[in-house]
Structure 1
């Protein structure tokens, strides 16, 4: 009977060691989050450029600086025009941000899934200062007595 209890005690102790080892190994794995939790941060990065377009490589570098190298892959970025007849041209492009956690065999990356966001910037097509376009030489000298224009 003592031998049977000793054998059961050893088996229980071994099982506890195995369970603890598995728990520790699983604790080392990072939790993977859907990339949509970063939507507002990614939109803020896109909106940080209001007067120029993003090149994909430049945006990729910015995203890696913010979230870590290899975490997210950026693609897309073909701009289209949206003329609004106010002397400005709005340019729009869609960028896709893809979390790379699902392709990581080591399970060290944090983000999975993908999200597509739009970047818009405004390109000035008419100069702000019309004095550079119409000069006194073109109009002649105007005085307060001139009633015709």
Structure 2
């Protein structure tokens, strides 16, 4: 292995691709526990709008975050392709509602570009980069950072 290869950051190469509105996103496949069809969660009083509630998943109470609401992408429409991606974030299990899951995509480091600096107009701290596969562009999300942000602290208190 040459010196340049060891200096290259080791990024996860497989991403689960999903859609929110017209955009396609990707998260590290290693964070995904399972994909379930959408079912209405039990609502929690005083929870933020993007926290749809909780589900009982084989005895584990799982907070459910609607990513379309979380990213302010308009009113969600729960259709036949709407799914809940169950994630393992540290010691927590969290579900995230997305419009649809498309596939698992393998990206080489050359296919991943840094997220553009949008200044104060857009918070990009949860974006790892942009992955390109032929004509597709995936917005790669650091799901650990996103789910462990200040809002996640609130979710942990709700689910406890």
Shorter-chain TM band: under 0.3
Normalised by the size of structure 1, how large is the TM-score? 0.24
Larger radius of gyration: 1
